[in-house]
């Protein structure tokens, strides 16, 4: 997998603050909880010098996670402040100096991975040309979570939505495309508002034309939708796993759970979608990542019945 390890400061609507590791942590912990024990996980990502020791120790503490895939860089690690106005609306401010990964950083993993989750947590994990090179060289399925490709990269203040240049070139050649409703609107119409159902289908259809097996659209507290290339859309309502307290990382968990269940365990699309939505619901019931694995265990994502 590739993304960014982030030091999060999460400010809730009531003013309470949680500081924890976030970003790719949500995906790593979800994969470890849901994949078979024998499957190894390689977080191929750059980590700033000030956080590298902690991130490496955290990854070494997880069974089957290859901490040697981490790439230390002489830069300040990414730090994100998330200030929520309400249950889902927020402002995000990014600090740090982690730059894009080069082909030389990624090429050694092309023949070592069976599936590759790309979660653009920061939005600049690599450039479009290098990502294209990865897609051409890699023989397994790629899951693309659009995520912060749809946010400005060079602002000192709160990050603002933006439509990435040549978005179709990012999507072309991946097997699974993931975005939330606002991101789908940005990609398709250049506006960060949800698409009407017919336009969402047309957007998904364009992704299918570019080679995607399907498009996973997250809907926050309303669940998610899977748009397959070979059938009708599958809607999955959010399932109750307790009170939702923080949406941070829910999309990261959704995507990681999807690839764990679909690629790692071979579940059919409907089962994988239901499990992924259940996992995201479990993440919404906690704040930060420290108790994420326990929350996923309580949600019993693999059985569909809460513990």
pLDDT tens per residue across span 256-278: 999 999 999 999 999 999 999 99
Instruction: Say what the pLDDT of residue 236 is.
Output: 96
Instruction: Say what the pLDDT of residue 103 is.
Output: 98
- State phi, psi for 61 to the nearest 5 degrees: -80, -5
Residue 156 pLDDT grade (very low, low, confident, very high; cuts 50, 70, 90)? confident
pLDDT tens string 61-73: 999 999 999 999 9
pLDDT tens string 8-21: 999 999 999 999 99
- State phi, psi for 173 to the nearest 5 degrees: 90, 0
Long-range contacts of 17-20 (CB under 8 A, 24+ apart): 18/246, 18/287, 18/288, 19/288, 20/287, 20/288, 20/289, 20/290
pLDDT at 171 over 70: yes
- Mean pLDDT, residues 205-219 taken together: 98
Q: Which helix (H) or strand (E) holds 6?
A: strand 5-11
Q: Choose between 297 and 190: higher pLDDT.
A: 190
- How far the first Cα of the chain sits from its last, in Å, is 29
Instruction: Say what the pLDDT of residue 298 is.
Output: 87
Which segments of 1-61 does DSSP mark as H helices, in order? 24-34, 49-60
User: Looking up tokens 């402002």, which residue turns up?
Assistant: 91
- Mean pLDDT, residues 229-255 taken together: 89
Cα 158 to Cα 10, 75, 86, 163: the distances in Å are: 14, 21, 16, 16
pLDDT tens string 31-55: 999 999 999 999 999 999 999 999 9
Residue 291 pLDDT grade (very low, low, confident, very high; cuts 50, 70, 90)? very high
- Mean pLDDT, residues 185-211 taken together: 97
Instruction: Say what the pLDDT of residue 241 is.
Output: 57
pLDDT at 188 over 70: yes
Whether 75 and 69 have beta carbons less than 8 Å apart is answered as no
For residue 222, the number of C-alpha atoms closer than 13 Å in the C-beta half-sphere is 8
Distance CA 122, CA 126 (A): 10
Instruction: Say what the pLDDT of residue 22 is.
Output: 96
DSSP 111-145: TT-SSEEEE-SSS-SS-HHHHHHHHHH--S-EEEE
Distance CA 239, CA 2 (A): 28
Assign residue 50 a region: left if phi > 0, alpha if psi is -120 to 50, beta otherwise? alpha
Instruction: Say what the pLDDT of residue 242 is.
Output: 64
Query: Cα angle vertex 39, ends 38, 44, to 5°?
Result: 145
pLDDT at 195 over 70: yes
pLDDT at 149 over 70: yes
């Amino acid at each position: 997998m590739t993304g960014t390890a982030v030091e999060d400061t999460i400010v809730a609507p009531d003013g309470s603050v949680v500081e924890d590791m976030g970003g790719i942590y949500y995906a790593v912990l979800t994969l470890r909880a849901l994949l078979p024990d024998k499957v190894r996980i390689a977080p191929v990502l750059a980590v700033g010098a000030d956080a590298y020791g902690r991130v490496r120790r955290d990854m070494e503490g997880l069974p089957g996670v290859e901490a040697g895939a981490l790439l230390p860089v002489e830069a300040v690690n990414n730090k994100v402040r998330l200030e929520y106005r309400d249950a889902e609306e927020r402002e995000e401010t990014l600090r740090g100096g982690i730059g894009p990964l080069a082909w030389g950083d990624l090429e050694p993993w092309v023949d070592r991975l069976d599936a590759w989750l790309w979660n653009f947590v920061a939005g600049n994990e690599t450039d479009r040309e290098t990502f294209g090179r990865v897609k051409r060289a890699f023989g397994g399925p790629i899951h693309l979570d659009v995520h912060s490709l749809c946010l400005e990269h060079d602002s000192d203040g709160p990050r603002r939505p933006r439509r990435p240049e040549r978005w179709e070139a990012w999507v072309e050649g991946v097997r699974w495309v993931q975005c939330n409703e606002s991101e789908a609107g940005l990609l398709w119409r250049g506006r960060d508002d949800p698409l009407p159902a017919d336009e969402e289908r047309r957007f998904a259809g364009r992704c299918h034309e570019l080679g995607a097996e399907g498009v996973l659209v997250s809907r926050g507290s309303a669940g998610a939708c899977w748009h397959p290339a070979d059938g009708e859309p599958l809607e999955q309502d959010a399932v109750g796993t307790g009170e939702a307290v923080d949406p941070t990382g829910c999309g990261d968990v959704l995507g990681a759970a999807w690839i764990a269940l679909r690629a790692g365990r071979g579940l059919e699309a409907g089962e994988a979608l239901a499990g992924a939505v259940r996992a995201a619901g479990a993440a919404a019931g906690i704040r930060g990542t420290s108790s994420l694995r326990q929350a996923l265990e309580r949600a019993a994502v693999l059985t569909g019945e809460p513990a």
